[in-house]
Structure 1
Amino acid sequence: MDLLVTYDVETTTPAGERRLRKVAKICEGYGHRVQKSVFEVVCRDADKVKLVAAIEAVIDPARDSVRIYRLPAMALDDVEHLGRPRAMDPRGPFVI
């Protein structure tokens, strides 16, 4: 499945900064960063469950916001992109 993951983590405290780094690290393990707080993810249903659980374990739901958009099949193959060239193919090899 194709996902778009976006997050906004409150960073006015050291704890918030740590949560932000943890959320970013989790997302880096599942997809490609396309902007500072935006990731394109191609995964299976089981991987999505693990991704959601990992993020839920880190964020403060009263202060942070994470949105996971499930896109139509192969939607990431048909992205109109302006500006700097796309650095990664979302379906290409993924090395951690």
Structure 2
Amino acid sequence: MLVLITYDVNTEDAEGRRRLRLIAKQCVNYGQRVQNSVFECLLNAAQAKMLKHKLCGIMDEKKDSLRFYYLGKNYQTKIEHFGTKVSYEPEGVLMI
């Protein structure tokens, strides 16, 4: 299933900037950054639960916010992209 993860981390202090880096690093491990604080992650149910647990463990609930949008397996019909950044196919071939 495709999961859209968005976050807003308070970076007024060094601890907030550290949380921001840790959350971004975890998201990069599971998906593709599509905007500064937005990731598209192709996950199974266990991976989604594990990532949510990790991210909630990093964030400060009094200062930060996380959102998870579960777009499911038929996500292609739920996404429209306009603008300069080229969209990518999460299930396509990844060449490194």
TM-score, normalised to structure 1, is 0.88
Deviations 1:3-37 (A, max 9, x none): 11000000000000000000000111111100000
Whether 2:7 is the aligned partner of 1:4: answer: no
Which residue of structure 1 aligns with residue 49 of structure 2?
Answer: 49
The aligned length equals: 95
Which residue of structure 2 aligns with residue 60 of structure 1?
Answer: 60
TM-score, normalised to structure 2, is 0.88
Q: Could you list the structure 1 runs, at least 4 aligned residues long, displaced by more than 4 angstroms after superposition.
A: none
Instruction: Could you tell me which runs of 5 or more consecutive residues in structure 2 were left unpaired when the two chains were aligned.
Output: none
Counterparts of 1:68-87 in structure 2, within 5 Å, are 68-75=68-75, 77-78=76-77, 79-87=79-87
1:16 and 1:94, CA in 2 relative to 1: closer, same or farther beyond 3 A? farther
Instruction: Could you tell me which runs of 5 or more consecutive residues in structure 1 were left unpaired when the two chains were aligned.
Output: none
Which residue of structure 2 aligns with residue 89 of structure 1?
Answer: 89
Output the CA distance in 2 between the equivalents of 1:44 and 1:19: 25
The percent of aligned pairs where both chains have the same amino acid is: 39
Judge which range, 34-43 or 85-94, deviates more: 85-94
Equivalent AA in structure 1 for residue 7 of structure 2 = Y
Asked if structure 1 preserves the Cα contact closer than 8 Å seen for 2:81 and 2:87, the reply is: no
Residue 29 of structure 1 aligns to a residue in which SS? Answer: helix
TM-aligned CA deviation for residue 87 of structure 1: 4.9
